[in-house]
Structure formats: C-alpha cells, structure tokens
Amino acid sequence: MKAEIIAVGTELLLGQIANTNAQFLSRKLAEIGVSVYFHSVVGDNAKRLDETIKLAASRSDLVIFSGGLGPTQDDLTKETVAAHLGRSLMTDELAMQRITAFFEQRGIVMTENNRKQALVIDGSTVFANDHGMAPGMGYTKDGVTYVLLPGPPSELYPMVDRYVMPFLMDLLPGKQVFHSRVLCFFGIGESALEERLLDLIESQSNPTIAPYAKEFEVTLRITARAQTVEEAERLIVPVEAEIRSRLGQYVYATGETSLHQVLVESLKDRQETIAFAESCTGGTLASLVTSIAGSSAVFPGSIVCYSNQAKHDLLDIPQEVLDAEGAVSEKTAKLLAENVRAKLHTTHGVSVTGVAGPDSAEGKPVGLVYIGVASEGYPTVVKQLQLSGRRQAIIGRTAKTALFHALQRLKER
Amino acid sequence: MKAEIIAVGTELLLGQIANTNAQFLSRKLAEIGVSVYFHSVVGDNAKRLDETIKLAASRSDLVIFSGGLGPTQDDLTKETVAAHLGRSLMTDELAMQRITAFFEQRGIVMTENNRKQALVIDGSTVFANDHGMAPGMGYTKDGVTYVLLPGPPSELYPMVDRYVMPFLMDLLPGKQVFHSRVLCFFGIGESALEERLLDLIESQSNPTIAPYAKEFEVTLRITARAQTVEEAERLIVPVEAEIRSRLGQYVYATGETSLHQVLVESLKDRQETIAFAESCTGGTLASLVTSIAGSSAVFPGSIVCYSNQAKHDLLDIPQEVLDAEGAVSEKTAKLLAENVRAKLHTTHGVSVTGVAGPDSAEGKPVGLVYIGVASEGYPTVVKQLQLSGRRQAIIGRTAKTALFHALQRLKER
C-alpha cells in the first residue's frame, strides 16, 4: 500500500509551525508496514488543494489529510475532498451533540459557524474527536482511501491511536495485528547502535527494527506482524535476545520511558530516596526528576552549588580541597555526593561538577566532568567523563549520564 | 514570486525527523515577502524526485531543495536537478579543498565517495558550507530559480542566513532590503495578543506583523521592506509605538532573546546576583539561568527544597509556619525568598512554592503557586497565581513567571 500525507494550512507555509503531524503519521504508518512516498503541505486555498488531491489520488492508495476541519471560512478540506469525490456533506449527530454540549458546559453561546464542524462526508466512517470538536473521517472510492483528520496534534494523535489505526489495519490484506516492543538505550549513539545491528535491520522484514534518537538517548522499536499478538510476540523474542546479546549493557528499560522516569519508579519500588549536588548541570538533574509526577516520594530536594563559595557554605567542601584540587576534581565530586546525601538524609547522593563551557575553568578543559555516586552502605564511586560539543549538549549529556550511573547503582545494590 | 520547498530524504517519510528545514525556510521567505505555496517531501528515489521537480518547475518561480547532497549513493538531489536542467556536474575547487582539509586535520583517510560532495551544477552560484562539507548552489533557467541546500539544520541555517538570503534578495524586483524588529512578550498568550492587534496585522502589508508562540512566551516580528535599512526603520517606528501603546506592559525585551537570557544580562550589567529557592519548579529556574554562558557571574547557586523537611533544614522555614500555613503559602514563599538570599549572599532571592499536580496538596488546588521576590533594600513581594494545565505546563509557566517578576524588580530598583 502506497500512502501520502497532505497537511492543509497556511500557518505551515508561513513557517509558524512545523509539520509534526506528518512525522507522527509517518511513524505510525511505518509501524504497520505502509510505505509513505510523499508529504505535501498546501495552504487554505481550494484550487491548489484540489490539484494536490487529484495528484495524490493518481499515485497513492491511501491519502491522509490533516487540518482544515475547523469552523472558519478558511477551513475547506472536507468541502474540497467531498467535491472531488462527488459526495455531499451531512451533519454527524454525535459530533453535533458534543459541540452543543461543549458550549453549554462553558455557558457560551455557540456561533452558527460551529455547526460546520459537525459536517462529514456522506457515507464516510466517522472518527469521534475525544479532545476537540471536529470529527475525522475515512472514505474509500476507486481503490483510494481518503482519511481526514483535525490539525491540532492534541486532537489528531489520540484520534489516530484510538480510531484510525484499527480502520487502516482493516484495509491491509490478511487482517494482521502489529505488535511492538521498545528498548531504551543509553551510552551508545544512534549511528553506532545502527552499525552494530545493521545486518539485523537490513535482513529483517518481520519483525522490523527501527532506532530513534531521543535527547542523548536512543530507543529501538521492534515491530512484528502476525495473526495474533501472541504469535507476534513469539517473532519478537529471538530478535530481542540477539539485540540484547550484542548491546545488552546499554539497555536500561523496556517500553516508552526515560532515564529519569525509570529512576523515580525504581527508587519508589525500593522505598529509597535520592538528592543531588549539582554544579555544572545547574539544576537539570533536579528538574528532570521533578518533571515526573509522584517524584516527591523519592526526592526531598537538592543543592545547586554553582560557585565555590556555595560548595563551601552549603555543602562543606573544605577550602583546602577547592584550592588544592579544584572544584572540578574527583575529590570534590566525592565529597559533594556524600555531603548532599547526609544533609538531605537520603539513600543516595549524586553529584556533578565539570566544565560546561564555552570557556575552560581552573585550567581544565571544556567537557571535563566528574560524577559522584554515594549510597548508604556502599563505597562512593566517582566517574570521570570527557565530553565534546556545545554547552547545552555537555549539560544534557552529563545529566543523563548521572541518571544512568544512579540507576546502575540501584541495580548493583 | 511563488516559491515551494522540496525536502529530500527517506528519513522524513519514515517519521524519524520532522521537516523543520521547511519551517525555517518558510519563515525566512515570509520575512522577505516571498509567498510559499507548497512544501513537499520525497524519498531518496530518482524517479519520484524527478516528477516532483517537474511539477514544481511548472508552477513556481523559486524551488528550494534541502537534503540529498551527501556522499552516499542515496544522495541524488544535485544529480537529478542537473539532469532536469540538462547541465553537468563539476568539482568546486574551494569545496574540494575544505573536504580534503577536514580529513587531513582529523588524520582520517578520505574515502573516494567524499569527492562527490564537492560536485556542483556547472554554472551555478555556489554557497560555501561553513559548517560541513557539501556546498549549496543556486541556478536559474527559464525563469525558475533552483536552490539546493544540505539537509542538516546545523549546515543549512547558517548557509541560508549568510549566503542564500542575499542571493534571493537579488532576485526580487527593485532591490529592496528587508529589515525586522522582534519584540518579546510575556504574560499574554498568542491568541490574545493577536486579537488585540488584529486590525494592525490585517491592515498592514509594509511592515508586516507576525506573532510566534514560544514556550510560554510570544514574540512578534515587525518586518519592513524599503530601499534602505534607514527607510525600513522609519516604517517600523510608528507601528512599534502603536503596539507598545496597546501592550507595552507585556514587552520585556527587543530582539531574539529569552526571559532567562535577559535576566542574566541585566544582572551582569548591574553587577548584581540572584539565588532561587525552588519547590514546585524543582530546579527549572536554576537550569534555565545556568543554560546561559557566563551565568556564573550572577548566580552562585540555589536550593531545591521539595519536601517540607528540606524547607525546614536547608532554608530555616519554622515548623510552625509549615504546620499552620503550609508549604504552599504566602508566608512560606516570603521566608524562602529572604532566607535563600541570606544563605547565598545575593542581591536578590526568588522563591517558588505551589501545587504542580496531578494531585492537590495540603488541601490546596493544582495550579496554586506563590512566587516570592526578596531584594536588598526593598520590601519582599509575594505574587499568587492560579494556573491551569498539566504538570509540565504549570512548572514551565511558573518558572517563566518567576523570571518575569525578577526582571520587573530589576527595572523598579
């Protein structure tokens, strides 16, 4: 099946937003083995939209539209597609009820143009909009399936996951299920990972293996198609085992998660706590951990000790250590980790001190970083890193590395 | 002039990356008054790319390509465009020198396929790649200008700013200059701002007024075209004055900047310092400020006091205050700001305490936040906010609001 994605909206052509819907839809289609051959963006203009529809219908089996389903005059996707199909528009009662209820609940008078949002192509499969007003729809004619979706990602993403994917799966031959497992990696780059798995990635078509780079992390999605979830799972097992046998030391979790989320959950499971003494990461570790709901159970607080004075005043680093070895040193990292743990009465204390740049400090090079991990009943360990890149990359990579080492400590204990 | 943008790369069609180059190029073209009518994405496939080029040439005056200039077999943009134009490829000597030097400096043997990167369309204007290997190029035939650019944003953005914009400006009738001023707003949403300026936005064509939403901030770009920069400036002045007369209280800076950058720069100018006591923002304020190079001159450190125990132990909040008024209270915010200032010996102390959610705390609703600002020789002020949204939005908006209030204090003093 050959697919293409058409985003409709002048705001995209003005560069006010990026076409992230096309990215999302492409990933979803790749997961179920549908090849996407083109993306297009066209403005809120009936003539150019109609030309784009005609071209798409001539070369693709599946055409997915995003945007242009709203209440204003500018919104003309369904009108233009309906005209192309020779169908009329009719009111979808369920959508109309939801729109009316929306305005009633907020005590606002509904303007007449909002009725337009409940119109759908006559005879189409309607996808309810659980997070907004305009429903989506799917319609097949002459071997081409047209899917129309609302533009806001907060409406489109859940509609695709809940209603559109099952609709598309029904179009595929053999009524197969698609089942995925995600592995989370840290400490290996996307290209290095791909290189180590290239033979698998290239030879495998079921399951498929697709790496994605996240911020200083990499995830790998293994997707199998089969008659049942159980059968798909059986196809995934040996591939996952082979990947783990090659790169197991970099795998820190299974599923869509992140280092900070796994750290918070692991600490919760063990009823342990953690505190940070952050110099060069300047609060990044604390803000990552507190971005997770429920982190208060494992994280009482931390100290950002940017200046030497703060390291001395707030974390008792002796002036002699700062003078003799410097703030960026193994000794300082060790004491920071141990002292922050003592001051905040936690199971673990993690410290970071380093040179984020752009200038070197204490005669030490940009990218030199020490990470200390102190834990109850365990000798304190200090790791030395030499990172490259710009300030923000050094800060981000250091923070993730510190979370990874904290997680390793949890596994060792 | 009608333009379209063609991105070439299978990684876009697989959803591995978003087409941010098209967004960047669209904004740049909008600023110089060039209308973009289409974006397309096509994979690394010569036949489909050729079809896309032919369609673009039939309907646009300017076709900008990104991607497909690299060393591998998959990279075929310039080969395909050259064939469409009936031109051959030739080696650009400057590019070849740079590529050779790149490998020599790193002591790596250059593989033969890297020579391909120095090839350009015979007779084209060559744009040097100051941040990578493959140069860009521009070529005009039969009234259509083709611009080919490398795919990585780190190479494309600076090439566009330095070489492509002047090249495009030369194509425009009347040799006009485009000159912009950016105003930075905080405390007003994009749609509210647009509503308050709608008459100006809709009636103005020179200068144009374009709002862009950033994270919890809005910027407004005023762009004028004229024969000279001075003349453009004269067109901008009355429009800026009108905007400021309506919304001046929300304007915190001029130029491409951010609240945390302006705060760091303002503190530096005044030789003042700041510290934070963060509860619900959990280190976000500190990490924003330390993301700015040179922040160590104004920021010695801060304390993340997530638990009540930490508020008591590290920042001397009396147990009676925590028991009677709670951690999320005006009194606690006031003491946190004053005490963190005292502990870190800074000119200013800023505190945040609130309920980020998803659950309420101390019987207080999600989104209730207190921000304290304590300064040398100035009465401490506490602001109360009631925010809506999810956890991350509440944290982000609270942090930006605290930075805004700190900045206001600097202006008052």
What would the pLDDT profile of A155-192 be if each residue is shown by its tens digit?
999 999 999 999 999 998 877 788 889 999 999 887 78
Task: Tell if the CB–CB gap between A303 and B306 is shorter than 8 Å.
Answer: no
Exposure of B334 in the CB half-sphere (CA atoms within 13 A): 13
Task: Tell if the CB–CB gap between A345 and B55 is shorter than 8 Å.
Answer: no
Q: Mean pLDDT of all residues in chain A?
A: 94
Please give the pLDDT value at position A62.
98
* Cis check: omega of the bond before B207, within 30 degrees of 0: yes
At A367, which helix (H) or strand (E)? none
Which of B72, B74, B306, B390 to probe the A interface (max A CBs under 10 A)?
B306
* Cis check: omega of the bond before A358, within 30 degrees of 0: yes
Task: List the alpha helices (DSSP H) in B112-185.
Answer: 153-159, 165-171
A33 touches chain B (CB under 8 A): no
Inter-residue contact B117 to B69 (CB < 8 Å): yes
The dotted CATH code for A2-171 is 3.40.980.10
Give the distance from CA A75 to its chain's centroid.
29
Instruction: Report in angstroms the alpha-carbon separations of B131 from A382, B105, B118, B135, B203.
Output: 36, 15, 14, 10, 41
Please give the pLDDT value at position A21.
97
C-alpha to C-alpha distance for A259 and B111, rounded to whole angstroms: 38
Find the CB nearest A38 among B41, B281, B301: B41
Task: Tell if the CB–CB gap between B301 and A285 is shorter than 8 Å.
Answer: no
* Cis check: omega of the bond before A379, within 30 degrees of 0: no
A-proximal residues of B, 257-286, CB under 8 Å: 276, 278, 281-286
Exposure of A116 in the CB half-sphere (CA atoms within 13 A): 16
pLDDT digits (tens, 9 = 90+) for A361-370: 999 999 999 9
Token pair in block for residue A234:
């059986």
- pLDDT per residue, tens digit, chain A (413 aa), is 999 999 999 889 989 889 999 999 999 998 888 999 999 999 999 999 999 999 999 999 999 999 999 888 888 999 999 999 999 999 999 999 999 998 888 787 888 888 999 999 999 999 999 988 999 999 999 999 999 999 999 899 999 999 999 999 999 887 778 888 999 999 988 778 888 998 998 888 899 888 887 788 889 989 898 989 999 999 999 999 999 999 999 999 999 899 999 999 999 999 999 999 999 999 999 999 999 999 999 999 999 999 999 999 999 999 999 999 999 999 999 999 999 999 999 999 999 999 999 999 999 999 999 999 999 999 999 999 999 888 999 999 999 999 999 999 998 87
Reference B129, options B171, B157, B100; nearest CA is B157
C-alpha to C-alpha distance for A192 and A396, rounded to whole angstroms: 19
Find the CB nearest B40 among A39, A309, A395: A39
- Give Rg (Cα) of chain B: 27
Successive 10-residue mean pLDDT values, chain B, 413 residues: 95 92 95 92 95 98 96 90 97 95 82 90 97 95 97 94 94 82 91 87 86 84 90 96 96 94 98 98 98 97 98 98 97 98 98 95 95 97 92 94 96 84
Task: Tell if the CB–CB gap between A39 and B36 is shorter than 8 Å.
Answer: no
Full strand arrangement of the beta sheet holding B251-254? B208-214, B217-226, B177-185, B251-254
Task: Tell if the CB–CB gap between B14 and A30 is shorter than 8 Å.
Answer: yes
**Greatest distance between any 2 Cα atoms in chain B:** 84
Which superfamily does CATH assign the domain made up of B259-412 to? CinA-like (3.90.950.20)
Give the distance from CA B354 to its chain's centroid.
28
Task: Tell if the CB–CB gap between A283 and B303 is shorter than 8 Å.
Answer: no
* Cis check: omega of the bond before A318, within 30 degrees of 0: no
Where are the domain boundaries for CATH 3.30.70.2860 in chain A? Answer: 177-254
User: A368 vs chain B: nearest CA distance in angstroms?
Assistant: 16
Task: Tell if the CB–CB gap between A286 and B282 is shorter than 8 Å.
Answer: yes
B386 touches chain A (CB under 8 A): no
Where are the domain boundaries for CATH 3.90.950.20 in chain A? Answer: 259-412
Task: Tell if the CB–CB gap between A304 and B306 is shorter than 8 Å.
Answer: no
B-proximal residues of A, 181-220, CB under 8 Å: 210, 212
Torsion of CA A58, A63, A68, A74, to 10 degrees: 0
Token pair in block for residue A303:
């100290």
Q: What residues pair up with A220 in beta bridges, in sequence order? A: A183, A211
Task: Tell if the CB–CB gap between A287 and B282 is shorter than 8 Å.
Answer: yes
Chain B residues lying within 8 Å of A278, measured CB to CB: 283, 286
Token pair in block for residue B145:
């200008």
Task: Tell if the CB–CB gap between B307 and A296 is shorter than 8 Å.
Answer: yes
Please give the pLDDT value at position B102.
83
Q: Where are the beta strands (DSSP E) in B48-176?
A: 62-66, 89-91, 119-121, 125-127, 136-141, 144-149
For chains A and B, what is the number of CB pairs under 8 angstroms? Answer: 228
Find the CB nearest A287 among B26, B210, B287: B287
Q: Where are the beta strands (DSSP E) in A109-239?
A: 119-121, 125-127, 136-141, 144-149, 177-185, 208-214, 217-226
User: Which one-letter DSSP state was computed for residue B386?
Assistant: E
Task: Tell if the CB–CB gap between A313 and B344 is shorter than 8 Å.
Answer: yes
The dotted CATH code for A177-254 is 3.30.70.2860
Please give the pLDDT value at position B380.
98
Inter-residue contact A147 to A104 (CB < 8 Å): no
Give the distance from CA A99 to its chain's centroid.
31
Reference B408, options B385, B386, B375; nearest CA is B375
Task: Tell if the CB–CB gap between B212 and A16 is shorter than 8 Å.
Answer: yes
Inter-residue contact B252 to B185 (CB < 8 Å): yes
Task: Tell if the CB–CB gap between A302 and B304 is shorter than 8 Å.
Answer: yes
Task: Tell if the CB–CB gap between B282 and A304 is shorter than 8 Å.
Answer: no
Instruction: Report in angstroms the alpha-carbon separations of A217 from A178, A187, A220.
Output: 25, 7, 10
Reference A180, options A234, A236, A219; nearest CA is A236
B303 touches chain A (CB under 8 A): yes
Task: Tell if the CB–CB gap between A296 and B303 is shorter than 8 Å.
Answer: no
C-alpha to C-alpha distance for A26 and A38, rounded to whole angstroms: 10
B-proximal residues of A, 2-31, CB under 8 Å: 12-20, 22-30
Inter-residue contact B273 to B248 (CB < 8 Å): no
B407 touches chain A (CB under 8 A): no
* Cis check: omega of the bond before B135, within 30 degrees of 0: no
Q: Which letter, b or e, does each residue of A233-272 get, where b requires 16 or more Cβ atoms within 10 Å of its Cβ?
A: eebbeebbeebeeebeebbbbeeeebbbbbbbbbbeeeeb
Instruction: State whether residue A229 is helix, strand or coil.
Output: helix
Where are the domain boundaries for CATH 3.40.980.10 in chain B? Answer: 2-171
Task: Tell if the CB–CB gap between B39 and A38 is shorter than 8 Å.
Answer: no
A94 touches chain B (CB under 8 A): no
Please give the pLDDT value at position A137.
98
Inter-residue contact A349 to A277 (CB < 8 Å): yes
User: B86 vs chain A: nearest CA distance in angstroms?
Assistant: 25
Read out DSSP for A66-95? Answer: ES--SSSTT--HHHHHHHHHT--EEE-HHH
Torsion of CA A352, A357, A361, A363, to 10 degrees: 110
C-alpha to C-alpha distance for B123 and B139, rounded to whole angstroms: 7
C-alpha to C-alpha distance for B42 and B151, rounded to whole angstroms: 13
Read out DSSP for B324-356? Answer: HT-SSSHHHHHHHHHHHHHHHT-SEEEEEEE--
User: Which one-letter DSSP state was computed for residue B250?
Assistant: G
Token pair in block for residue A212:
């994605």
Amino acid present at A197? L
C-alpha to C-alpha distance for A315 and A309, rounded to whole angstroms: 10
Q: Mean pLDDT of all residues in chain B?
A: 94
User: Which one-letter DSSP state was computed for residue B162?
Assistant: I
Inter-residue contact B106 to B75 (CB < 8 Å): no
User: A285 vs chain B: nearest CA distance in angstroms?
Assistant: 8
Which of A274, A302, A313 to probe the B interface (max B CBs under 10 A)?
A302
Chain A residues lying within 8 Å of B36, measured CB to CB: 13-15
Instruction: State whether residue B173 is helix, strand or coil.
Output: coil
- CB under 8 Å to B111, separation ≥6 — which residues? B71
C-alpha to C-alpha distance for B268 and A179, rounded to whole angstroms: 55
Inter-residue contact B399 to B288 (CB < 8 Å): yes
Q: How many residues does chain A have?
A: 413
User: A334 vs chain B: nearest CA distance in angstroms?
Assistant: 19
| Token pair 């001395």 in the structure block, residue | A312
Going B7 to B8 to B12 to B17, the CA torsion angle's sign is: negative
A388 touches chain B (CB under 8 A): no
